[in-house]
Amino acid sequence: MAVQTVKSLLNRKNKMDGLDLLNSIDTETVKVAFFDPQYRGILDKLSYGNEGINRGKARSSLPQMELGTIIKFINEIDRVLLPSGHLFLWVDKFHLCQGVLEWVINTNLNLVDLITWDKDKIGMGYRTRRKSEYLIVFQKKPIRAKDVWKSHSIPDVWTEKVQKNHPHSKPIKLQETLILATSEENDIILDPASGGYSVFEACKATNRNFIGGDIVYGED
């Protein structure tokens, strides 16, 4: 796809299929990617009978990603990431325990860290009540920390309460901090399943170029 077409996708809320967005991006041009796949995960395990009626209605109505679709996204993210670039992958407790390494088979991505986001509020749960999500940190080969990860003050448990403007609202300050740690001004930051566009807001605050979109939310 023409370079001008890619430029036209920068720094806006693109309402489009994330795989189409990824197909428009040249190989090894993105410094950092965030990916929050819309999967059933823990909701299927809990199987709340009133889901979609008075519990989690907005979340349950969103289009769901099959495992094969998630793997396609990750393969494309691997392609567009620069060498030593980072992928920050959001997962819930179910996927953290079951493991996600099969998602990155046949890629150049390596698991290098994990951050727990403490939402500072209580959620659902038959046993323990959920108040955390998890951000798995992958780095594309070659694995390097020196001069690539520039901040050494980020805790592995991050507490941040967010305003709920989307069923999958994410912590903007955490994402700002990670963007600052792993990229430079004007680098391209990718979020192919943007949801509430919190990564876009983080890019505005850090003077990075955002490229992202969502199949439901955004501008045509």
Q: Which residue has the tokens 């045509």?
A: 220
In a domain, 216, yes or no: no
Asked if residue 131 lies in contact with residue 158, where contact means CB atoms within 8 angstroms, the answer is no
How high is the pLDDT of residue 182?
99
The domain tally of the chain equals 1
Nearest to 218 by CA among 203, 197, 192, 199: 197
In a domain, 23, yes or no: yes
In a domain, 218, yes or no: no
How high is the pLDDT of residue 171?
97
Domain that holds residue 64: 3-182+194-211
In a domain, 219, yes or no: no
Q: Residue 61: how many CB atoms within 10 A of its CB?
A: 10
Q: Which pair of tokens denotes residue 193?
A: 């399943």
In a domain, 188, yes or no: no
In a domain, 187, yes or no: no
Q: Which pair of tokens denotes residue 9?
A: 């996708």
Residue 174's CATH number:
3.40.50.150
How high is the pLDDT of residue 44?
54
How high is the pLDDT of residue 4?
43
Mean pLDDT, each 10-residue run in order, the chain (220 residues): 71 97 97 90 48 47 80 98 99 89 96 97 87 97 96 98 84 99 98 96 99 92
Q: State the pTM of this model.
A: 0.88
CA distance linking residue 44 with residue 178, whole number of Å: 31
CA distance linking residue 192 with residue 169, whole number of Å: 15
In a domain, 39, yes or no: yes
How high is the pLDDT of residue 39?
73
